[in-house]
């Protein structure tokens, strides 16, 4: 789990932050999400955030209140638990089929903990050890856990190989966390790690090297046409007619539940019904979604882009500080370099965005930059930066907004999953 940043900023009473980070297997299949969360409880002043505050009762109950399905879309969740949660059996607020209980590194194999783990197993829960360091006091717990997480950042992986083999010999699945580069990932595979978590799955190098397809170029061009007031509806209709798969996708979008399942048979009618701005937004979503067909890693990056865009939009709607649709665009485009394997400057050359959008994406400056920075900090679980965010004081429901953004992204991507391929 990422180490929290310190902050001198006060926290809102009972404010709870909840984000998520994907976990992949060797075949790049997403198998789970780790939930990253923190409860502020009350202002504490400067200093590091303790595990008790990170994983307070308030935080765990808030996860249930928000809804695990909204946060994970039915995928298994790794939930951090402290010694107090384990002994108090607070984990029982979760269905054992939906979670893995991740025992924090502060837990030792004392008799009370051992007994609590045995009770959890008897109830059907799966246990994992976080940040395992091989200390002898944990030996008694190893027969009870299914997964052990190893922090591989800055580690000597050759030395770690012995520990991995020892754990595998016990039948334990090894999860490498804080995997930052492809080289480290490959080495972790070599030494026997089976699950992986970290920034490597969000870096441009993960998706680099792809060529932009003709369909994607077409979508860029139509987006430009939609934003040009001199282009008539007939001109737009001709652009769609030249590409049958996009025409069919357009009709499926307008006939979807998002538009009241209306019956539309012509391109012209669909364009007028949706409206240019909404249609431009949908084409951006389709452009992003087209990348996710390649792999689950790519699909996760697509989902993250959608969540970030919607989160920026919802933040702006709540604060009233800015234009929500523009913030959606900024959030979505902030991941396009990763998705298309192009520098962000090259992506922006193809789109008619204004200087404020460019400033936020290229230099982290301008009126949109604080909202984008807050969204990135939140999804990364960088709670110190979240506390310092310009819009943080105006929003007391960040976890709800984030969960809404996740649910929206899943629903929107699902609504176009059956559309013709755009690659």
**Placement of tokens 């595998």 in the chain:** 168
Distance of CA 103 to the CA centre of its chain: 22
pLDDT for res 422: 35
Spatial separation of the C-alpha atoms in residues 297 and 27, rounded to whole Å: 10
Give me Rg for the CA atoms of the chain. 23
Spatial separation of the C-alpha atoms in residues 314 and 324, rounded to whole Å: 7
Spatial separation of the C-alpha atoms in residues 382 and 199, rounded to whole Å: 13
pLDDT for res 262: 59
User: Taking Cα atoms as reference points, which of 43, 39, 37 lies closest to residue 11?
Assistant: 43
Cβ neighbours of residue 214 closer than 8 Å, sequence gap 6 or more? none
Cβ neighbours of residue 354 closer than 8 Å, sequence gap 6 or more? none
- For residue 39, the cross-strand partners are 16
pLDDT band at 65 (very low <50, low <70, confident <90, very high): confident
pLDDT for res 15: 65
Exposure pattern of 72-94 as b/e (b: 16+ CB <10 Å)?
beebbbbbbbbbebbbeebbeeb
pLDDT for res 60: 72
pLDDT for res 40: 54
- Tell me: the pLDDT tens digits for 353-378? 889 999 999 999 999 999 999 999 99
Three-state SS annotation for the chain:
CCCCCCCCCCCCCCCEEEEEEEEEECCCCEEEEEEEEEECCCCCCCCCCCHHHHCCHHHHHHHHHHCHHHHHCCCEEEEEECHHHHHHCHHHHCCCCCEEEEECCCCCCCHHHHHHHHHHHHCCCEEEECCCCCCHHHHHHHHHCCEEEEECCCCCHHHHHHHHHHHHHCCCEEEEECCCCHHHHHHHHHHCCCEEECHHHCCHHHHCCCCCCHHHHHHHHHHHHHCCCCCCHHHHHHHHHCCHHHHHHHHHHHCCHHHCCCCCCCHHHHHHHHCHHHHHHHHHHHHHHHHCCCCHHHHHHHHHHHHHHHHHHHHHHHHCCCCHHHHHHHHHHCCHHHHHCCCHHHHHHCCCCCHHHHHHHHHCCCCCHHHHHHHHHHHCCCHHHHHHCCCHHHCCCHHHHHHHHHHHHHHHHHHCCCCCCCC
pLDDT for res 43: 36
Spatial separation of the C-alpha atoms in residues 327 and 313, rounded to whole Å: 5
- Tell me: the pLDDT tens digits for 255-290? 665 555 456 667 777 788 888 888 888 887 877 777
pLDDT for res 110: 93
pLDDT for res 205: 53
pLDDT for res 119: 97
pTM exceeds cut of 0.95 = no
- pLDDT-wise least confident of 80-84, 113-117, 199-203, 380-384: 199-203
CA distances from 379 to 156, 303, 304, 406 (A): 29, 12, 9, 11
Spatial separation of the C-alpha atoms in residues 283 and 281, rounded to whole Å: 5
Residue 316 confidence (pLDDT) above 80: yes
CB 36 within 8 A of CB 386: no
Distance, first Cα to last Cα, the chain: 36
pLDDT band at 1 (very low <50, low <70, confident <90, very high): very low
CB 127 within 8 A of CB 96: no
Higher pLDDT: 230 or 405? It is 405
- For residue 150, the cross-strand partners are 176
- pLDDT-wise least confident of 25-39, 53-67, 144-158: 53-67
Higher pLDDT: 51 or 299? It is 299
Average pLDDT of the residues in 210-221? 68
- Tokens representing 216 are 């994607």
Largest CA distance in the chain: 76
pLDDT for res 188: 96
């Amino acid at each position: 789990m990422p180490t929290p940043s310190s902050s001198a900023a006060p926290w809102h009473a009972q404010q709870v932050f909840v984000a998520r980070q994907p976990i992949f297997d060797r075949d790049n299949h997403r198998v789970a999400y780790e939930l990253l969360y923190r409860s502020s409880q009350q202002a504490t002043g400067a200093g590091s955030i303790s595990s008790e505050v990170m994983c307070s009762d308030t935080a765990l109950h808030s996860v249930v209140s928000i809804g695990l399905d909204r946060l994970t879309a039915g995928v298994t969740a790794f939930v951090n638990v402290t010694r107090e949660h384990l002994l108090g059996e607070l984990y029982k607020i979760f269905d054992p089929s939906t979670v893995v209980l991740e025992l924090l590194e502060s837990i030792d194999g004392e008799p009370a903990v051992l007994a609590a783990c045995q009770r959890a197993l008897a109830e059907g829960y799966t246990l994992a050890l976080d940040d395992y360091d091989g200390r002898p006091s944990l030996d008694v717990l190893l027969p009870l856990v299914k997964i052990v997480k190893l922090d591989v950042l800055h580690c000597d992986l050759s030395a770690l190989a012995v520990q991995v083999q020892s754990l595998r010999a016990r039948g334990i699945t090894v999860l490498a966390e804080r995997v930052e580069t492809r080289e480290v990932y490959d080495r972790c595979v070599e030494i026997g790690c089976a699950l992986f978590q970290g920034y490597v799955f969000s870096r441009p190098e993960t998706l680099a090297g792809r060529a932009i397809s003709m369909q994607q170029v077409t979508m860029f061009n139509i987006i430009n046409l939609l934003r040009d007031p001199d282009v008539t509806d007939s001109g737009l209709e001709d652009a769609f007619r030249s590409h049958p798969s996009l025409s069919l996708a357009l009709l499926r979008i307008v006939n979807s539940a998002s538009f009241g399942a209306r019956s539309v048979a012509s391109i012209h009618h669909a364009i007028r019904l949706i409206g240019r701005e909404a249609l431009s937004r949908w084409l951006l979503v389709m452009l992003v979604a087209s990348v996710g067909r390649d792999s689950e890693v790519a699909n996760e990056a697509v989902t993250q882009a959608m969540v970030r865009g919607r989160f920026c939009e919802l933040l702006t709607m709540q604060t009233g500080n800015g234009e929500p649709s523009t913030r959606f665009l900024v959030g979505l485009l902030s991941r396009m370099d990763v998705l298309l394997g192009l520098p962000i400057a090259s992506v922006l050359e193809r789109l008619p965005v204004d200087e404020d959008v460019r400033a936020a994406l290229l230099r982290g400056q301008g009126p949109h930059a604080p909202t984008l920075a807050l969204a990135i900090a939140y999804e990364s679980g960088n709670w110190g930066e979240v506390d310092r965010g310009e819009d943080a004081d105006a929003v007391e429901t960040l976890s709800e907004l984030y969960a809404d953004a996740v649910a929206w992204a899943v629903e929107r991507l699902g609504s176009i999953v059956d559309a013709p391929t755009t690659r």
